[in-house]
Chain A
Amino acid sequence: MLRQVEGSKAVADAVAACAPEVICAYPISPQTHIVEGLSALVKDGSLKNCEFINVESEFAAMSVAIGASATGARTYTATASQGLLYMIEAVYNASGLGLPIVMTVANRAIGGPINIWNDHSDSMSQRDCGWLQLYAENNQEAVDLHIQAFRIAEEMSIPVMVCMDGFILTHAYEQVDIPTREEVKTFLPPFTPRQHLDPADPVSIGAMVGPESFTEVKYLAHQRMIDSLRKVQEVADDFERHFGRKTGGQLRSYRTEGADTVVLALGSVIGTLKDVVDELQLDGHSIGLVGLTSFRPFPFHALAEALKGAKRVVILEKAFSTGTGGIVTQDVVRAIEGMGIKDFTVIAGLGGRPITIASLREYLTNAMQENVERITFLDLETETIEKELSKERALR
């Protein structure tokens, strides 16, 4: 049933429909509305057999999740930005222990300077943490990805981050179809943990592993991540069979047939880009779009397929690696290696700066001519930069 709801509320309801047993959270904008919604559902009894724990930090949030998941409970938490960074040690631990926790990251910039608005710096910083990262294009996909995430996580024994743009999605009211508990049941079986803490069949979880086996442990994690690429697609396909919607999966191409230029992006900006691509195509430009849902695992093969025939790829990123450039770009470059496709990176929307159609049109128009730098910061205030740079350099 379609409902006009806030993205956070939609996600809260979707998570509740997955019948989590333990939810723990520490408040941080823009994640707050999601966990507020869930706490209300637990409190008013509509989400039964579920413990909602208000913890004292994100580090504790992930730690509670670890304990709960290791005990065989379906476990959920949500965070953003500094919160994600504060829990990093536990984030790595959760994946290291193979605990299928699902976590929403309401994407937000990382300080300092402190900034509460959206970009992807937070989740991108966790590129290597061993979690799956699925990026939602819109609130419907955010809802669907959470339902898919539990199944992928539990079938693979790997935790999953569902990344949705802070404010842009979390606080946006859209029409969304939220599957009911009964509907989700048919898609998401009860959680059967690979291992759990059981006094009747005790095990010791969390051993210290030395040089003689550490590489093997890590290699297995790597293979599990690679194997999960297929699972991401399978689950998306099965979801489509159940719910009739094509959401999730590894990536989705938009009007890329015969396109010389393909833009690649993650998250809500895909919606804007679709409009820009539509407009540019109307103007006769050969341009298409690939929306990347699964950043981790990275779909090298699917991406190479999607970009086959293109002359250039423009990667739009809401985060970057200081001193190097695009983060996603590094993986894209590897995916298209030897295909003769040129790559350009545009860094946009940092700290919540609006990514306007006008700016995108202007940039892409130049990019299609390869009349741009390999890396461009969209709408950069060059005058300020030049002034500040010369000041700084003079001081050195």
Chain B
Amino acid sequence: MDKPYAITLSVGSSLANHTGSWRVEHPEYVNRMPPCNKACPAGENVQNWLYIAEDGSYEQAWRELIKENPFPAIMGRVCYHPCQTACNRSFLDEAVGINSVERFLGDHALEKGWKIDPPEHETGLAVLVIGAGPAGLSAAYQLRRMGHQVVVRDATHQPGGMMRYGIPKYRLPREVLDAEINRIKEMGVIFQLNTRVDDVHDALEEGFDAVFMAIGAQLSKRTYIPAGESARILDAISVLHHFEDGQTPMLGRKVVIYGGGNTAMDVARTAKRLGAEEAIIVYRRTRDKAPANDQEIEEALEEGILIKWLSTVKYMGEDDMMIEKMALDEKGFPQPTGEFETLEADSLILALGQEVDFSLLGNNVDLDVKSGVMDVDTNMMTTHPGIFAGGDMVEGDRTVTTSVGHGKKAAKYIDAWLRQTKVEAKEEKDAVAFEDLNTWYYTDAPHAVRERLAATRRVYDFSEVVQGLDESTALYEARRCMSCGNCFECDNCFGVCPDNAIKKLGPGWGYEIDLDYCKGCGICVSECPASAIEMVSDL
């Protein structure tokens, strides 16, 4: 079209005017630390695998997940999910049910029979892992992925450690446990069961290039309890272990469990399932001080288990026992009151915690023990070069997830040690705070609740108590993730820029700031729901 001079202009001709020159700062896309990732003892990149799962790419999500943790189906059942405790969404409505999505992915993988790829190359180096518990298996898995030859030795006849001998099957069905361990076997990890290692030093001499000790804490702590001659006092670990091996322990009709941890809950619930009319937990402090996971306490109570808070066992007889009520002093510590109560009890099971059996250290003094646990450095190596340790036998939370994390971490340092390289220190990043997010953009979407078996039904057998999510619910749950600190391609920045200075690069590619036009107003930063953009000075 003919255009009269100056008064009529060609459309879009302002592109010649590069308004970027006005700017003193510009936005940059960043990947910040989501609180779930930071909280995960196994170091899972939770936000990332949720992100991948959100569009239904379950296999890809699962593969991302198992880079850090080979047991999603197990985790989805036994992990106490600190990720959910840390989840920023809890400030908005309810935390994302990360654990249930993890279980869905784990179960889905088992259903589909997805395998772990064998290592791309063999290093020719060999590592001995002592203990087939979560720490040992996690280390074995990671080391094998790196191409090392791995032998796992365990004193028992089945792998799994406390996952098998400490966690009852109503929480972790054995077919799930077996299937996930089997996947590790299929990678070429050699299992030597019923093989107790008496002295770790011998192993090195056998020709292993490194050793990872992860034998757990198998010894029950005991306490002195005045008891009658025929009083039946057992320890929780043995009860669970024997039961797992098919020997039903004689507990009687009325069972008292002494302790307030998860093991106490597990053993009480197991006793109930074995036919005890009454299972009573005695714990000397209050509920909020009990180390047991709250959900486990809740489920125990639902199943009719009585808990005597603020009580200590004073005496155990043949078919009854005496407990003393405690009261909290000003400092909040329980003190005896002199008030006693007699309970009917056929057996007393002690669940007072566990200790490490250090017999495998042999007589050599080059391995230090400190405060009842193995002394390891930040690289998980003991005081003996080439011998590493992790799991319950070193300092840390005694949970499956922490152990998996230890195994992974140890594997990384063992690998570095074997290769004579250094693991690059990761910068400790602050987690994205709720206040950093622009939560306006997240619609309210309450937590998808996993169904649980009715309490009356579940005390009669060992069926799994907590059910999994179906696919649509798992997807819903995954999509509740707010993607803290990481772009999830919501298009907000692309939409809210008054200068069209953001280019959308297409699915998976994110966005790019067009610095020719960006005036540096910062609206994209303010309106990013996930706090995944930051302003950076141009000066």
Binding site for B on A (CB under 8 A): 96-98, 157, 194-196, 198, 201-207, 209, 213, 216-217, 220
Contacts and interface: CB of A to CB of B under 8 A. Distances in A.
Contacts of B3: 195, 203
Interface stretch (B4-12, B151-159, B480-488): B4-12
B2 interface: yes
Contacts of B8: 195, 203-207
Contact of B1 (A98, A198, A213): A198
A203 B11 contact: yes
B10 A217 contact: no
Given A195-B1, A195-B2, A201-B1, A217 B11 contact: no
B1 A217 contact: no
Interface centre among B3, B8, B10 (most CB of A within 10 A): B8
Contacts of A203: 1, 3, 8-11
A217 B8 CA distance: 11
29 contacts: A96-B7, A97-B4, A98-B4, A98-B7, A157-B4, A194-B2, A194-B4, A195-B1, A195-B3, A195-B4, A195-B8, A198-B1, A203-B3, A203-B8, A203-B9, A203-B10, A203-B11, A204-B8, A204-B11, A205-B8, A206-B7, A206-B8, A207-B8, A207-B9, A209-B6, A213-B5, A216-B5, A217-B7, A220-B5
Interface in B500-515: none
Contacts of A195: 1-4, 8
B7 A97 contact: yes
| Interface-central residue, A196, A202, A204, by most chain B CB under 10 Å | A204
B6 A217 contact: yes
A203 B11 CA distance: 5
Nearest to A224: B4
B6 A213 contact: yes
B9 to A, nearest CB: 4
Contacts of B4: 97-98, 157, 194-195, 220
A136 B215 CA distance: 114
Given A97-B7, A220-B4, 5 more contacts: A195-B8, A203-B9, A205-B7, A206-B8, A217-B7
A216 B5 CA distance: 9
> Interface residues of B: mostly helix, strand, loop or mixed?
loop
A100 to B, nearest CB: 12
A196 B1 CA distance: 8
A207 B6 contact: yes
A201 B10 CA distance: 10
Nearest to B13: A204
Contacts of B9: 203-204, 207
Interface residues of B, number: 11
Q: Which of B2, B3, B6 has the most CB of A within 10 A?
A: B6
Interface of B: 1-11
* 5 smallest beta-carbon distances between A and B, as pairs: A204-B9, A209-B6, A213-B6, A205-B8, A202-B11
Nearest to A204: B9
A97 B6 CA distance: 10
Contacts of B11: 202-204
A66 to B, nearest CB: 13
A216 B4 CA distance: 12
B7 A216 contact: no
A275 B391 CA distance: 124
A13 to B, nearest CB: 33
A216 B1 contact: no
B172 to A, nearest CB: 66
Nearest to A214: B6
A196 to B, nearest CB: 8
Contacts of A216: 5-6
B13 to A, nearest CB: 8
A25 to B, nearest CB: 26
Contacts of B6: 207, 209, 213, 216-217
A202 B2 CA distance: 11
Nearest to A98: B4
A194 B8 CA distance: 11
Contacts of A220: 4-5
A203 B9 CA distance: 6
B392 to A, nearest CB: 73
A196 B3 CA distance: 9
A336 to B, nearest CB: 34
Contacts of A204: 8-11
B1 A209 contact: no
Contacts of B10: 203-204
A220 B5 CA distance: 9
Contacts of A198: 1
A206 B7 CA distance: 5
A98 B9 CA distance: 14
Nearest to A200: B1
A207 B7 contact: yes
A35 to B, nearest CB: 29
Which of B6, B7, B8 has most chain A Cβ within 10 Å? B7
A149 B4 CA distance: 21
Contacts of A213: 5-6
A119 B492 CA distance: 64
B533 to A, nearest CB: 32
Nearest to A201: B1
A154 to B, nearest CB: 14
Nearest to A202: B11
A217 B11 CA distance: 20
Contacts of B2: 194-195
Contacts of A207: 6-9
A208 to B, nearest CB: 9
Contacts of A205: 7-8
B12 to A, nearest CB: 9
Contacts of A157: 4
A220 B4 CA distance: 10
A205 B6 CA distance: 9
A204 B1 CA distance: 11
Contacts of A98: 4, 7
A205 B10 CA distance: 9
Contacts of A209: 6-7
B350 to A, nearest CB: 85
B17 to A, nearest CB: 14
A216 B7 CA distance: 11
A195 B7 CA distance: 11
A96 B5 CA distance: 11
Nearest to A96: B7
Contacts of A217: 5-7
A276 B319 CA distance: 146
Nearest to B14: A204
A117 B54 CA distance: 80
Contacts of B7: 96-98, 205-207, 209, 217
A97 to B, nearest CB: 6
A204 B2 CA distance: 12
Nearest to A198: B1
